[in-house]
């Protein structure tokens, strides 16, 4: 019985570990299916590998967190004690050696062994977790199937639909077309231009969605012998089909603009068929680094790393960097243009490239104070070009930064401690030059002294931002609080231990922009002080220069200059003064004849009113004339935007040919007319004046009496 109980506990341990791993595997499988279904539409075949990788990652994370293999016999016994009350919390006695048990424990063990042998082989808590994981897996499978179904029937950006691994155009999902009864079949061969890299395709519908510059070939077969077959484009361009066999007709045309067309067989016209032209988009360029304005401080590496992402809908042919170096200042500035190429081959004409190029500024003979202007230009396979905005990279001119020109000018001179950052920079550079000639102890002491000077300067600037001072004046206040007569004085305690940041005078001392720049200056000073305290003056030097540059920029912003202006009035003529002669002063007369312009939307507005009246009365001859003119205007718009106005043109023609007005046709035409009309802008207008019956005139006459 003892061996049987111990064997049963070990068996339960193995099943516990196995069920835990099974539950983790079910959860990882559900996550893998969800990720694969999400990535199936853009990546398709690679989505399966992404699902496998995600399964391994999720399974590894869950197993690492739970660690079921670390389940010991003692842990399992505690679980059994909680789950089964008949064990009387004594299942741990079974795994103990018999020599370590006393008489009472031996009696209890013999009782528990019988209960353990009759325990079920599948603990309920473990099975509950497995069932829960299986339910989540079923939910994940349902969601994955739903996303795959939506991915197949969801329209793409260019009007297509995804069905498995094959992309079809929108006309395959459109309703059946209405063709002439003489047409037995049609085959359209669309040959995309060479820059797209797409093969030729065929379709059996008249509606065309093709790339710009594609060549379309029509092959129309008739069920009877006909005399002529013609294609009518946009109601005025005709293309006659050539007679190949007894009932076979063919024609070819280059598509460069959207519109619509009809098939004419012996004078009988078909419905309107749509022509959509997909234009080639310009290459898209995204600059990841550097920023638009990059400033290289003293001590930084004079190097620019350009990271760019170039993409195009059909393929990228080339990408280059056009740079201009500006040297000098004022009238002596000189410019030099340079063209850089990326170290990437564009022979495959991929749709996306991640490009990188490193430019060493010293190789361009750039010195402190010079600037580099550059932009990235990309070209696609259709020879279309696009470029980014100009990016600027400048090198800090330390000689100009250390000059005293901005300080000796008599315009809003700052206090003395606004100029001490320059001395810290000079002392740091001097320390770096003398590093090899002085001892280590002297070097560290001087670094520490410079850090102390930087700290004192930072604290002086902190006064302008309301920072607390570091000092020992608080000890005297604490001594005053310790006296017996001040015990319980709440006002003195609040005054001593609270920060006074709500002073109105301090709040308006500096403007928000100045405060923000001062905070940035204190941040750079703190970084410089940290490096100096760590005996790294070379690393502290760039932060010192940046702090000085921010201070000098702040000082230049606060300068004010008002130019002196002189006023030279014209000479006066004493003989003309006070004479009151206004004979030579004439009032300007401006005559202009304005004629009301023709409203080009008047016909459409009248057509909208006629459509509203057609709900209650039949169309007259004059109404049909106005609707014909409106149909011509909508046809012009349909030639440019067939997807919006082509249905309205067809509905309007059906309305004119038949005496019955269908509500669906009326709704389509009204929506198209509303899109054609400009949006009305509400403008203020004067209120209508009420008639005063001559009271104002009589009141004025009475006043004159």
Taking 70 as the threshold, does the pLDDT of residue 9 lie above it?
Answer: no
CB-CB contact of 641 with 625 (8 Å): no
Per the structure, how many domains does the chain have?
Answer: 5
* Residue-averaged pLDDT of the chain: 76
119 lies in a domain? yes
Distances (CA, A) of 287 to 355, 390, 392, 698: 10, 11, 13, 78
Q: Which residue has the higher pLDDT, 330 or 157?
A: 330
Domain containing residue 651? 602-676
DSSP annotation of 262 reads: E
φ, ψ of residue 410 to 5 degrees: the values are: -85, 65
Separation between Cα atoms, residue 1 and residue 219, nearest integer Å: 90
Confidence of residue 156 (pLDDT cuts 50, 70, 90): very low
* Lowest mean pLDDT across 185-189, 218-222, 558-562: 558-562
> According to DSSP H, which parts of 372-473 are helical?
398-401, 405-408, 420-433, 440-462
End-of-domain residue from the set 347, 368, 396: 396
C-beta neighbour count of 645 within 10 angstroms: 26
Question: Helix/strand/coil (H, E, C) string of 213-233?
Answer: CCEEEEEEEECCCCCCEEEEE
Q: Do 301 and 421 sit in the same domain of this protein? A: no
Separation between Cα atoms, residue 67 and residue 17, nearest integer Å: 9
- The predicted-structure confidence for 371-404, as pLDDT tens digits, reads as follows 889 999 999 988 889 999 889 988 877 666 555 5
Q: Do 416 and 392 sit in the same domain of this protein? A: no
Q: What is the CATH number of the domain that holds 265?
A: 2.60.40.10
Among 248, 155, 158, 262, which residue's Cα sits nearest to residue 210?
A: 158
576 lies in a domain? no
Integer-rounded Cα radius of gyration of the chain: 44
- pLDDT, residue 159, reads 39
Separation between Cα atoms, residue 190 and residue 217, nearest integer Å: 7
Q: Do 74 and 97 sit in the same domain of this protein? A: yes
Q: Do 15 and 80 sit in the same domain of this protein? A: yes
The winner for highest mean pLDDT among 7-16, 489-498, 637-646 is 637-646
574 lies in a domain? no
CB-CB contact of 239 with 251 (8 Å): yes
198 lies in a domain? yes
Separation between Cα atoms, residue 631 and residue 676, nearest integer Å: 12
Q: Which residue has the higher pLDDT, 45 or 488?
A: 488
Taking 50 as the threshold, does the pLDDT of residue 661 lie above it?
Answer: yes
C-beta neighbour count of 638 within 10 angstroms: 26
Confidence of residue 309 (pLDDT cuts 50, 70, 90): very high
596 lies in a domain? no
Q: Which long-range contacts (CB under 8 A, 24 or more apart) does 185-189 make?
A: 185/220, 185/221, 186/218, 186/219, 186/220, 186/221, 187/218, 187/219, 188/216, 188/217, 188/218, 188/219, 189/216, 189/217, 189/219
Taking 50 as the threshold, does the pLDDT of residue 169 lie above it?
Answer: no
Q: Do 655 and 627 sit in the same domain of this protein? A: yes
C-beta neighbour count of 227 within 10 angstroms: 8
CB-CB contact of 646 with 261 (8 Å): no
Distances (CA, A) of 339 to 325, 352, 639: 11, 22, 43
Among 522, 421, 412, which residue's Cα sits nearest to residue 465?
A: 522
Place of tokens 């109980």: 5
Structure tokens at 566: 């002189």
- pLDDT, residue 307, reads 92
- pLDDT, residue 322, reads 92
Q: Which long-range contacts (CB under 8 A, 24 or more apart) does 600-609 make?
A: 601/676, 601/677, 601/678, 603/629, 603/630, 603/633, 604/630, 604/633, 604/673, 604/676, 604/677, 605/677, 606/630, 607/669, 607/673, 608/670, 608/673, 608/674, 608/677
Separation between Cα atoms, residue 169 and residue 153, nearest integer Å: 12
- pLDDT, residue 106, reads 66
DSSP annotation of 177 reads: P
Mean pLDDT of 680-695: 60
Q: Do 522 and 625 sit in the same domain of this protein? A: no
End-of-domain residue from the set 152, 176, 198: 152
């Amino acid at each position: 019985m003892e061996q049987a109980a111990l064997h049963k506990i070990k068996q339960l341990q193995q099943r516990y570990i196995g069920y835990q791993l099974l539950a983790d595997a079910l959860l990882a499988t559900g996550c893998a299916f969800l990720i694969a279904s999400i990535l199936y539409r853009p990546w398709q075949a690679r989505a399966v590998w992404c699902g496998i990788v995600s399964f391994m990652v999720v399974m590894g994370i869950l197993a690492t967190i739970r660690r079921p293999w670390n389940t010991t016999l003692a842990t399992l016994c505690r679980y059994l004690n909680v789950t089964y009350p008949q064990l009387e919390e004594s299942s741990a006695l079974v795994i103990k050696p018999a020599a370590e048990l006393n008489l009472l424990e031996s009696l209890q063990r013999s009782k528990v062994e019988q209960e353990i042998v009759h325990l079920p082989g599948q603990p309920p808590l473990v099975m509950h977790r497995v069932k829960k994981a299986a339910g989540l897996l079923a939910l994940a499978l349902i969601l994955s199937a739903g996303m795959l179904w939506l991915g197949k029937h969801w329209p793409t950006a260019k009007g297509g639909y995804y069905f498995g691994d094959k992309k079809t155009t929108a006309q395959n999902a459109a309703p059946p077309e209405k063709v002439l009864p003489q047409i037995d079949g049609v085959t359209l061969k669309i040959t995309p231009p060479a820059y797209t890299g797409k093969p030729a395709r065929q379709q059996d519908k008249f509606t065309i969605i093709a790339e710009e510059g594609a060549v379309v070939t029509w092959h129309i077969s008739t069920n009877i012998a006909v005399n002529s077959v013609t294609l009518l484009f946009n109601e005025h361009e005709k293309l006659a089909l050539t007679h190949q066999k007894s009932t076979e007709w063919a024609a070819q045309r280059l598509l460069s603009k959207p519109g619509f067309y009809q098939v004419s067989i012996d004078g009988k016209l078909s419905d309107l068929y749509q022509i959509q032209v997909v234009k080639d988009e310009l290459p898209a360029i995204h600059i990841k680094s550097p920023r638009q304005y990059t400033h290289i401080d003293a001590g930084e590496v004079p190097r620019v790393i350009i990271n760019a992402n170039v993409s195009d809908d059909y393929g990228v042919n080339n990408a280059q960097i056009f740079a201009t170096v500006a040297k000098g200042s004022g009238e002596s500035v000189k410019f030099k243009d340079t063209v850089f190429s990326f170290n990437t081959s564009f022979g495959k004409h991929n749709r996306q490239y991640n490009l990188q190029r490193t430019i060493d500024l010293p190789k361009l003979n750039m010195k402190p104070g010079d600037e580099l202007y550059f932009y990235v230009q990309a070209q696609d396979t259709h020879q279309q070009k696009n470029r980014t905005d100009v990016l600027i990279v400048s090198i800090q001119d330390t000689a100009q930064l250390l000059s005293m020109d901005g300080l000796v000018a008599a315009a809003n001179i700052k206090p003395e401690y606004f100029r001490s950052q320059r001395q810290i920079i000079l002392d740091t550079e001097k320390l770096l030059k003398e590093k090899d000639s002085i001892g280590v102890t002297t070097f560290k002491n001087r670094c520490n002294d410079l850090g102390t000077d930087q700290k004192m300067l930072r604290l002086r600037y902190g006064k302008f931002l309301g920072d607390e001072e570091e000092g020992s004046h608080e000890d005297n206040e604490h001594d005053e609080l310790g006296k017996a007569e001040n015990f319980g004085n709440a006002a003195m305690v609040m005054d001593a231990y609270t920060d006074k940041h709500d002073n109105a005078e301090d709040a308006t001392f500096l403007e928000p922009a100045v405060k923000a720049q001062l905070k940035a200056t204190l941040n750079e000073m703190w970084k410089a002080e940290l490096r100096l305290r760590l005996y790294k003056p070379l690393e502290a030097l760039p932060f010192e220069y940046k702090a000085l540059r921010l201070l000098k920029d702040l000082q230049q912003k606060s300068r004010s200059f008002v130019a002196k202006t002189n006023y030279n009035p014209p000479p006066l003529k004493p003989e003309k003064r006070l004479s009151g002669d206004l004979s030579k002063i004439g009032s300007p007369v401006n005559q202009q004849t304005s004629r009301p312009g023709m409203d080009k939307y008047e016909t459409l507005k009248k057509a909208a009113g006629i459509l509203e009246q057609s709900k209650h009365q039949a169309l007259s001859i004059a109404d049909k004339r106005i609707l014909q003119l409106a149909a011509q205007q909508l046809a012009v718009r349909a030639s440019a935007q067939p997807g919006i106005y082509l249905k309205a043109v067809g509905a309007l023609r059906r309305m004119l040919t038949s005496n019955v007005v269908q509500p669906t046709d009326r709704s389509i035409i009204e929506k198209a007319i509303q899109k054609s009309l400009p949006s009305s802008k509400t403008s203020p207008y004067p209120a209508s004046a009420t008639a005063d019956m001559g009271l104002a005139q009589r009141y004025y006459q009475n006043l004159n009496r």
